[in-house]
């Protein structure tokens, strides 16, 4: 097992306040300057940043007479100006305006009051109305909010109104989407280079597409509905450079918790947060959305990520509206630049009651958990559920606390039931969740992310809280959502730990806050073993025609192929190897196989050409834990004594942990 990475850098001991973030340069022998934020933070969490400009040369479009950041460029374009500077106030033309059931009625009221009862919105094709917050409730006022959106949308002939009428079955509402920020992306309203304003602070999510996207208040929204324009102050830009290969136990949620923990919940107030670097480039669109979604938790005006091939591919089947991406100029000026080496980061949580109350997940291992919530615009996307399913699959265990799953949108709900989880042998997320004992995925909406009416699914309401409190004194929820203020998910005593879907799933399995490496490393180590075995088999026995053939199969191995192989295996060997067969003990198996060399205590007395003594030691110690919970484990057998010993040993080490053990002609397959 890999040990937890600690990445304390030399000389990391300076305390600076927030003001320092933008102006100070700490002399350092290394190229990086190390800062600490106001909050006391773990010594194990270190962030590297410098105020100098990056050497990176961002792509440039257009003239560089007035070098601009991406945000400045979008706002310049939207205000019809050749150039703008941070601090300018400009009238910006809006490409998309979005509202939802919480703030929509208020915005509509202001629009009618200011522009007249019979006024028409400036462009019925640019207004997107998405009921999503308090939907599946019998609360009359919440229902009335949706009714107001419906009346308005019908009266105004709004083109994009994602209505819900039948609350008893969301699937009976083909137009209904779910959480607005994810629906906007899925329906093609997030386009590079454009301006999206919405009456929800997490509208910044769309910055993942290289769009200027920000939340506005009801009064501003009323004005936008009437005019399609808004006076905006151009924000200064903070640049976050995230480089390095993202470890397989991290998700974008960890990255943004790291940033917010570093700069605080007010660290980016009215600033644009631009994310660049090799790590960012490697993220898929949903992960980029997670990152931008939470810029508001640092006070950011907006977040932006350069549009690239990942963006264009995502948009391919979602919009036919032409769009024009823009990029920061190489000479653009940024207020500060923050650098992170992501390869050293560990899984994080934000402890109650603030998103900047950062801690390492492993530091919180003694915190007992009462429930886990996976959902919302931040952590309820398809990739979030795939991540949770991957962890459950790796662990092969059942959850110890109620685990609520709330897909953000109807599309995510469908994905949960249809998309297969890699390495699962064709299982969908829903199957894995069911096996793990999670609650059935709920109807898509914001649900308990923001508490909601008392009957909101998974809400930490008083009845549940008192039940939980009896058992565990207080209600602790590990949640993939974005805010953990007191009362945010219902009960004011609730203790919310914000975390990635990996960490949330791992915590559900143990009932304590758990570093996901505890389960995920089982998979990555096993992959390493498979690689070595395959390499060995291929390199040593390629002259054997049959093995050559198998080698080709193995190279493109998928579970289906492996399953087919099981059908052609040697029955006698199968009987020998199956722990459920008549010879259940190791001893029995050894005796009943004439071809199996009997060795009561197999070891590497003869050096195997396939398994080095180093690998042998590794397998001997780690195999039982490694195999636990794995769906398929592929070992090998080549039919020669020396090799056979090794394979047999591997089988012995694993078969008592797994239900079926197969021997196949050239390799051993254990399920």
Q: Which is nearer to ligand IPM, 77 or 133 (CB)?
A: 133
DSSP H or E segment with residue 532:
helix 517-541
Residues 6+ apart with CB under 8 A from 52: 25, 337
For residue 449, the minimal CB distance to ligand IPM (Å) is: 6
Cβ neighbours of residue 558 closer than 8 Å, sequence gap 6 or more: none
Task: Indicate whether 354 belongs to the interface with ligand IPM (CB under 6 A).
Answer: no
CB 356, min distance to ligand IPM, A = 16
Does residue 102 belong to the site contacting ligand IPM (CB under 6 A)? yes
Cα 382 to chain centroid distance, Å, stands at: 9
Whole-number Å distance between alpha carbons of 53 and 30: 16
Query: Does residue 202 touch ligand IPM according to CB under 6 A?
Result: yes
Q: Is 103 in the site for ligand IPM (CB under 6 A)?
A: yes
User: Residue 369 corresponds to which tokens in the numbers above?
Assistant: 């958990």
Residue number, 49 or 450, with CB nearest to ligand IPM: 450
The residue among 180 and 657 lying less far from ligand IPM, judged by its C-beta, is: 180
- Could you say which residues in the range 450-489 bind ligand IPM, by CB under 6 A? 450
Report the distance separating Cα 665 and Cα 281, nearest Å: 43
Is 108 a residue that touches ligand IPM (CB under 6 A)?
A: no
200 binds ligand IPM (CB under 6 A): yes
Contacts 24+ apart (CB under 8 A), 217-221: 218/103, 218/106, 218/107, 218/109, 218/110, 219/110, 221/97, 221/99, 221/103, 221/106, 221/107, 221/110, 221/111, 221/197
Instruction: State whether residue 126 is helix, strand or coil.
Output: coil
In the region spanning residues 210 to 229, those forming contacts with ligand IPM, defined by CB under 6 A, are 215
Beta partners for residue 134, in sequence order? none
- Over the window 124 to 153, marking each residue x when it contacts ligand IPM by CB under 6 A and - when it does not, the resulting string is ---------x--------------------
- For residue 279, the minimal CB distance to ligand IPM (Å) is 26
Residue 516 interacting with ligand IPM (CB under 6 A): no
Angle among Cα 404, 406, 410 to the nearest 5 degrees reads 155
* Binding flag, residue 182, ligand IPM (CB under 6 A): no
Give whole-number Cα distances, 558 to 383, 554, 563, 564, in Å. 22, 8, 9, 10
HSE, side-chain direction, 13 A CA sphere, residue 13: 2
- The one segment of 199-207, 314-322, 323-331, 470-478 that binds ligand IPM by CB under 6 A: 199-207
In the complex, the smallest distance separating the C-beta of residue 351 from ligand IPM, rounded to whole angstroms, is: 19
Q: With respect to ligand IPM, which residue has the nearer C-beta, 133 or 390?
A: 133
Nearest partner of 512 among 502, 504, 523, judged by Cα: 504
Quote the longest CA-to-CA distance of the chain. Answer: 93
Residues in the chain: 671
How many chain residues interact with ligand IPM (CB under 6 A)?
Answer: 8
Segment contacting ligand IPM by CB under 6 A, of 135-143, 200-208, 314-322, 661-669? 200-208
201 binds ligand IPM per the rule CB under 6 A? yes
Q: Which is nearer to ligand IPM, 102 or 416 (CB)?
A: 102
The stretch among 198-206, 239-247, 460-468, 541-549 that binds ligand IPM (CB under 6 A) is 198-206
Closest to ligand IPM by CB, 205 vs 328, is: 205
Query: Which residues of the shown chain bind ligand IPM in the complex (CB under 6 A)?
Result: 102-103, 133, 200-202, 215, 450
């Amino acid at each position: 097992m890999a040990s937890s990475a600690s990445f304390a850098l030399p000389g990391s001991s300076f305390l600076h306040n927030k003001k320092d973030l933008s102006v100070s340069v700490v002399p350092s022998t290394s190229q990086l300057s190390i800062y600490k934020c106001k909050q006391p933070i773990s010594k194990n969490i270190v962030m590297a940043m410098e105020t100098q400009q990056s050497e990176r040369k961002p792509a440039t479009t257009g003239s560089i007479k007035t070098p601009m950041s991406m945000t400045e460029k979008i706002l310049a374009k939207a205000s019809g100006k050749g150039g703008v500077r941070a601090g300018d106030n400009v009238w910006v033309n809006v490409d998309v305006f979005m509202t939802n059931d919480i703030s929509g009625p208020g915005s509509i009221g202001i629009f009618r009051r200011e522009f007249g009862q019979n006024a028409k919105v400036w462009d019925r094709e640019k207004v997107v109305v998405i009921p999503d917050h308090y939907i599946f409730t019998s609360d009359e006022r919440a229902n009335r909010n949706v009714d107001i959106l419906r009346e308005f949308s019908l009266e105004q002939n709004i083109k994009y109104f994602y209505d819900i009428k039948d609350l008893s079955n969301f699937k009976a509402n083909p137009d209904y989407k779910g959480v607005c920020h994810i629906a906007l992306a899925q329906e093609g309203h997030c386009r590079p280079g454009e301006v999206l304003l919405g009456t929800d602070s997490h509208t910044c999510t769309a910055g993942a597409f290289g769009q200027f996207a920000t939340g506005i208040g009801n009064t501003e929204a009323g004005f936008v509905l009437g005019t399609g324009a808004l006076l905006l102050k151009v924000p200064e830009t903070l640049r976050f450079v995230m480089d390095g290969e993202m470890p397989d136990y991290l998700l974008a949620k960890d990255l943004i918790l790291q940033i917010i923990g570093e700069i605080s919940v007010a660290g980016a107030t009215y600033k644009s947060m631009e994310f660049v670097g090799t790590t960012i480039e490697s993220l898929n669109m949903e992960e980029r959305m997670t990152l931008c979604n939470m810029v508001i938790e640092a006070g950011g005006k907006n977040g932006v990520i350069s549009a690239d091939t990942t963006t264009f591919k995502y948009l391919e089947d979602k919009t036919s509206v032409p769009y024009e991406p823009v990029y920061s100029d190489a000479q653009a000026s940024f207020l500060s630049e923050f650098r992170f080496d992501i390869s050293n980061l560990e899984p994080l949580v934000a402890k109650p009651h603030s998103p900047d109350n950062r801690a390492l997940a492993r530091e919180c291992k003694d915190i007992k958990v009462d429930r886990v919530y996976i959902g919302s615009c931040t952590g309820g996307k398809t990739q979030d559920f795939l991540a949770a399913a991957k962890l459950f699959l790796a662990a092969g265990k059942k959850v110890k606390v109620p685990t609520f799953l709330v897909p953000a949108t109807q599309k995510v709900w469908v994905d949960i039931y249809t998309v297969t989880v890699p390495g699962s042998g064709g299982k969908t997320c829903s199957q894995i969740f069911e096996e793990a004992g999670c609650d059935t995925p709920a109807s898509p909406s914001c649900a308990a992310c923001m508490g909601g009416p008392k009957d909101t699914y998974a809400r930490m309401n008083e009845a549940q809280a008192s039940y939980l409190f009896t058992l565990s004194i207080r209600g602790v929820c590990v949640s993939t959502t974005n805010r953990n203020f007191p009362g945010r998910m219902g009960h004011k005593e609730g203790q919310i730990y914000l975390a990635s879907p990996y960490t949330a799933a791992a915590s559900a399995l143990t009932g304590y806050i758990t570093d996901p490496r505890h389960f995920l490393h089982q998979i990555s180590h096993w992959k390493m073993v498979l690689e070595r075995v395959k390499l060995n088999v291929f390199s040593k026995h390629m002259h054997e025609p049959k093995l050559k053939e198998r080698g080709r199969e193995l190279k493109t191995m998928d579970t289906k192929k492996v399953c087919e192989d099981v059908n052609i295996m040697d029955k006698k060997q199968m009987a020998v190897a199956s722990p459920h067969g008549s010879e259940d003990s190791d001893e029995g198996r050894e005796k009943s196989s004439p071809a199996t060399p009997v060795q009561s205590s197999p070891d590497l007395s003869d050096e195997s050409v396939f398994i080095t003594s180093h690998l042998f030691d590794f397998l001997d110690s780690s195999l039982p834990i490694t195999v636990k919970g794995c769906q398929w484990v592929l070992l090998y057998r080549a039919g020669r004594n020396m090799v056979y010993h090794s394979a047999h040993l591997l089988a012995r080490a694993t078969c008592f942990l797994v239900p079926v053990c197969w021997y196949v002609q050239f390799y051993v397959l254990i399920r």
